[in-house]
Amino acid sequence: MSEFDDFWKALTAGIENLAVGALKDYKDQVVKDGQDFANALKADLTLWTTQLANHDITDKDFEWLVESKKAEAKLLALKLEGLAKEALSRFVDDLVNLIITTAGKFF
């Protein structure tokens, strides 16, 4: 198994742990939206983690690249549930932080 595969497995497992607090009643939607967002970034994450592992980009560069994708988070299932904007924003922040910290463990 490659480093990226290990990273991906840890990331997708970590997404389930984001359904806490205000989001605990929306676990299915949190997991679906989190996985959809991660899948949408998979090609970019493959490239960026390779660059990170090869020291072609810094940790800060990687963090900036992932943070720049926040606007692309398509959280339709959660929005349809009428979740407050504050909780949605916190979820996106937590999801981006999960990607960054999980990558830091592997690359």
pLDDT tens readout for residues 33-52: 889 999 999 999 999 999 99
For the cut 70, the answer to whether the pLDDT of residue 80 exceeds it is no
Segment 55-74 mean pLDDT: 91
Model pLDDT, residue 8 = 96
Q: Running DSSP on this structure, what letter comes out for residue 1?
A: -
Does the pTM surpass 0.75? The reply is: yes
Mean per-residue pLDDT for 50-62?
Answer: 96
**Does 77 have pLDDT greater than 80?**
no
User: Which residues neighbour 41 within 8 Å (Cβ) at sequence distance 6 or greater?
Assistant: 66, 69, 72, 99
